Amino acid sequence: MTTRLVGAPLTRREDARVLRGETRYVDDIVIPGAAQAAFVRSPHASAAIQSIAVPEPSEADGLLAVITGRELAGLRSFPVMEPRGAHVAAGEAHPVLPVDEVRYAGQPVAAVIARTRALAEDAAELVEVEYEARPAVLSPRASDLTLMRWSQRTGDVDAAFAAAAHVVTGRYALPRLVAAPMEARGAIARYDADADGLTVWCSAQDIHRSRAQLSHILGRDEGTIHLIVPDVGGAFGSKGVVAPEVAAIAAAAIRLGVPVRWTEDRLENLVGAYQGRGIEGDVALALAADGRMLALRARLWADLGGYLLTTTPIPPHTAATLITGVYDIPAADVEVTGARTHKVPTGPYRGAGRPDAAYMIERLVDRAARELDLDRIELRRRNLIRRFPHRTPTGLEYDSGDYERCLDLALELAGPDQPSRPLGADVARGTGFAMYVERAGGGFESARIQLRPGGRFLIDSSSSPHGQGHDITFAQIAAERLQTAPGAIELRFGDSASAPGGVGTFGSRSVAQAGSAVARAADAMVGEGARLAAHLLGLEAGAVRLTPAGFLGDGAALSWAEIADSAAAPDGHPPGGAPGPLQASARFESANVFSSGVHAAEVDIDPETGQLSVRRLVAVDDAGTLINPLLAHGQVIGGVVQALGECLVEEAVYDDDGQMRSGSFLDYSLLTAAEIPPIITGEVETPTPLNPLGAKGAGEGGAVGALPAVANAVTDALGGRHVEPPYTADKLWRALHGADDRPAVPEERR
């Protein structure tokens, strides 16, 4: 008899704290005597810094210090990741504060440390920076400076294209987006000179990467940095790299000997936090007469901004490697160029390259169906990957999946296909389908479990949550294996003083990696418990087994509470066993696992105004075994709505001078509850063989599939004309009426 907790839609335990207003986000943490930072920011997209004149510290004005790049000359720039096989210009890493030039409007130039934030903002206005403006490069194709490049060529692509019955090409682009978590970024840094210890409370996705980045930048051993991630108000990829401002206040706290706090405000977040997407590409597909895909060519350009932050090279690499999608395409020639532009750097934002790839391939496949006069579903069916593991021509190995089942379920949930209504009717209606596969999981995480009095367990996880619900999910995983109630299990996260080693919360990997580590640690604890129970019962270790009532052996039973009591007793352990509470730990590492799904959309466009209304969305996702369907559903819906925002309103707009024109929530719109259509979800569970849970990842799928589904529906409604998101009324109206110098070109004629 076992207790099935995996698969149970349990509610979260941290909610009560939130609902009572008892959470502690970083700005809620009171540190006596902490000073506040504000930043002087570049008004230019590109300029030389000629001089900086700063006000003197003043007790009367509450001004403690103004710190510029010159004072921080001893610090290193950001560490930069190098995706496998990629060339990365590490010399172009983002400095904490610049010395002689600025490369984006909004770049922090000087840190102003004062008694209050208002005083710091007052003093920041007194800092005089003399700039010599330079021309700004804003388009990645126009840039002659490459920050990252990756390419791969597999199979005889040229021959395939030469022999193909059909060649279909498309040019696609996604704008830059702002992650815009409701809590912007922020940190507090406190330095203890006697112990040479730096404590940083940081609104971050995890402790590990934040600490490693600060260690690199500050040139200080990781062991001297105590990193605490308190409650975090959302991240969506944008808090996986510490802000340059956080490194600056850490340096300031060390120099000044006072704790320093930086609470990013919304203006700073919109202009200064790294953004997502910003990618464009030319993609071509060679097809046989029967619609079989023979080869794919893709040339992508990513708008990486002025510098490389740690993870800036990752999303374009992910986009390039996933560009063949769910299709069995034997040959591919793919190249991605990450170009320097005079904008804030880009980095991961929910999906982080996955929606980019799905958007391009799924738009192209729809276009191919139109040009070949084949049913769009049938064309997909003919080319689906059906055998796993599958090696893609871009070098990925898909572990598992059942793409056709996802497709069938999506078709069933979407209902009978309604023919799109002709233009000129009172509404232009379209439907669209899109399939995706996403790289999830991968890398290592770990967990440590302790048996405590009363048969309770404390688990330290290397991962940490910012809304996903790690706590109950991991408790379910452990409780099922320990044959106890989730209530007996307490999880602890986010403190480098207690957390075991790991990487972090990103890339739809927490359940697959950190959850598997919890599972393995719980299994090890069961082994420890069995060993002790056998000893106490005078049996062989193999003669006891765990049940909900405890360890049973030879008619006797020992509960976890009794095991805990015995373990605490001086003679409770078998000879040679270490005295004290039972402990176990585990490290889990695996290759990437690949979630997948099929999304569908039905849209209407008002031909008179161009207003798009998404009538209905269907999201079928296969994230492997679901541990907690309630929370997994929440991830899907949240992701779908972010994608919907990307389709309808979201875009970081820059003017010709490189000034960000979306510097408030009045300009950078987010969707409200009143704009959300009905979303119908369906789950397919194809377990991965790569981890003990069978779980993949659910964090990003919603944001990956909905974008191309809506894009295909919009194109359908426009009778095949292609328009890039966001699908504003202005763009769609012009596409329908062909009314200006930006006409949408019907796909057939491109």
Q: CB-wise, 222 or 608, nearer to another protein?
A: 608
Using CB under 8 A, which of the segments 76-84, 232-240, 488-496, 741-749 binds another protein? 232-240
Binder among 467, 486, 682, 694 for another protein (CB under 8 A): 467
Nearest approach in angstroms of CB 17 to another protein is 8
Nearest approach in angstroms of CB 461 to another protein is 18
Binding of residue 289 to another protein (CB under 8 A): no
Using CB under 8 A, which of the segments 374-382, 484-492, 496-504, 727-735 binds another protein? 727-735
N-to-C CA span, the chain:
64
What b/e readout covers 496-527, taking b as 16+ CB neighbours within 10 angstroms?
beebbebbbbbbbbbbbbbbbbbbbbbbbbbe
Q: How far apart are CA 300 and CA 311, in angstroms?
A: 18
Nearest approach in angstroms of CB 699 to another protein is 11
Q: State how beta strands 146-154 and 87-88 pair.
A: antiparallel
In sign, the C-alpha dihedral spanning 162, 168, 169, 172 is negative
- Write down the residue that tokens 């799904």 correspond to: 597
Nearest approach in angstroms of CB 83 to another protein is 27
Q: How far apart are CA 543 and CA 546, in angstroms?
A: 10
HEC assignment per residue over 109-162? EEEEEECCHHHHHHHHCCCEEEEEECCCCCCHHHCCCEEEEEEEEECCHHHHHH
Using CB under 8 A, which of the segments 25-33, 104-112, 383-391, 528-536 binds another protein? 25-33
Q: CB-wise, 67 or 640, nearer to another protein?
A: 640
Q: CB-wise, 170 or 469, nearer to another protein?
A: 469
How many angstroms from the chain centroid is the CA of residue 723?
Answer: 26
Nearest approach in angstroms of CB 150 to another protein is 31
Q: CB-wise, 231 or 399, nearer to another protein?
A: 231
Binder among 192, 730, 743, 748 for another protein (CB under 8 A): 730
Q: CB-wise, 186 or 550, nearer to another protein?
A: 186
Nearest approach in angstroms of CB 614 to another protein is 13
In contact, 131 and 48? CB cutoff 8 Å: yes
Nearest approach in angstroms of CB 58 to another protein is 15
How many angstroms from the chain centroid is the CA of residue 26?
Answer: 21
Binding of residue 426 to another protein (CB under 8 A): no
Q: CB-wise, 326 or 706, nearer to another protein?
A: 706
Binding of residue 285 to another protein (CB under 8 A): no
Residues, the chain: 750
Q: CB-wise, 175 or 313, nearer to another protein?
A: 175
Binding of residue 626 to another protein (CB under 8 A): no
Q: How far apart are CA 296 and CA 328, in angstroms?
A: 11
Q: How far apart are CA 470 and CA 487, in angstroms?
A: 14
Binder among 117, 176, 470, 509 for another protein (CB under 8 A): 117
In contact, 426 and 698? CB cutoff 8 Å: no
Among positions 638-657, residues that touch another protein (CB under 8 A) are 638-642, 648-649
Bond into 726 cis (ω within 30):
yes
Among positions 126-185, residues that touch another protein (CB under 8 A) are 180-184
> Residue 182 is which amino acid?
M
Fill in the per-residue mask, 179 to 208: x = in contact with another protein (CB under 8 A), - = not in contact.
Answer: -xxxxx------------------------
> Residue 359 is which amino acid?
Y
Which residue, 474, 524, 529, 530, is CA-closest to 499? 474
What phi, psi does 602 have (nearest 5°)? -125, 125
> What angle is formed at CA 695 by the lines to CA 692 and CA 698, rounded to 5 degrees?
160
Q: CB-wise, 115 or 531, nearer to another protein?
A: 115
- CA of 515: how far to CAs of 3, 463, 505, 679, in Å? 18, 9, 11, 28
Q: Alpha-carbon dihedral of residues 121, 122, 128, 133, nearest 10 degrees?
A: 40
Q: How far apart are CA 620 and CA 377, in angstroms?
A: 15
Among positions 236-255, residues that touch another protein (CB under 8 A) are 236
Q: CB-wise, 576 or 678, nearer to another protein?
A: 678
- Write down the residue that tokens 């099929």 correspond to: 598
Nearest approach in angstroms of CB 6 to another protein is 18
Among positions 547-566, residues that touch another protein (CB under 8 A) are none
Fill in the per-residue mask, 335 to 354: x = in contact with another protein (CB under 8 A), - = not in contact.
Answer: --------------------
Element (H, E) at 622: strand 612-622
Nearest approach in angstroms of CB 4 to another protein is 20
Binder among 7, 15, 53, 375 for another protein (CB under 8 A): 15
Q: Which residues contact 373 (CB under 8 A, 6 or more apart)?
A: none
In sign, the C-alpha dihedral spanning 364, 370, 372, 377 is positive
Element (H, E) at 744: none
Binding of residue 233 to another protein (CB under 8 A): yes
Nearest approach in angstroms of CB 420 to another protein is 22
Q: CB-wise, 137 or 271, nearer to another protein?
A: 271
Using CB under 8 A, which of the segments 166-174, 311-319, 494-502, 634-642 binds another protein? 634-642
**DSSP secondary structure code for residue 720 in this structure:** T
Q: CB-wise, 167 or 676, nearer to another protein?
A: 676
Nearest approach in angstroms of CB 457 to another protein is 23
Binder among 2, 7, 24, 85 for another protein (CB under 8 A): 24
Q: CB-wise, 170 or 638, nearer to another protein?
A: 638
Binder among 637, 685, 724, 745 for another protein (CB under 8 A): 637
Binding of residue 231 to another protein (CB under 8 A): yes
Bond into 175 cis (ω within 30):
no
In sign, the C-alpha dihedral spanning 647, 269, 47, 86 is negative
Instruction: Give 402-416 as a DSSP string.
Output: -HHHHHHHHHHHH-S
Binding-site size, another protein (CB under 8 A): 75
Among positions 565-624, residues that touch another protein (CB under 8 A) are 608-611
Using CB under 8 A, which of the segments 262-270, 473-481, 536-544, 565-573 binds another protein? 262-270
Binding of residue 12 to another protein (CB under 8 A): yes
Q: Which residues contact 80 (CB under 8 A, 6 or more apart)?
A: 88, 90, 93, 308, 309, 310, 312, 313
Nearest approach in angstroms of CB 136 to another protein is 24
Among positions 659-718, residues that touch another protein (CB under 8 A) are 664-666, 669-676, 679
Binding of residue 535 to another protein (CB under 8 A): no
Q: CB-wise, 101 or 231, nearer to another protein?
A: 231
What phi, psi does 477 have (nearest 5°)? -60, -50
Where residue 673 falls (left for φ over 0; alpha for ψ -120 to 50; beta otherwise) is: alpha
Binding of residue 267 to another protein (CB under 8 A): yes
Nearest approach in angstroms of CB 60 to another protein is 13
Nearest approach in angstroms of CB 239 to another protein is 11
Nearest approach in angstroms of CB 32 to another protein is 13
Binding of residue 16 to another protein (CB under 8 A): yes
Nearest approach in angstroms of CB 492 to another protein is 18
Q: CB-wise, 261 or 535, nearer to another protein?
A: 261
Q: Which residues contact 480 (CB under 8 A, 6 or more apart)?
A: 2, 3, 4, 5, 6
Binder among 122, 158, 523, 562 for another protein (CB under 8 A): 122
Binder among 557, 728, 745, 746 for another protein (CB under 8 A): 728
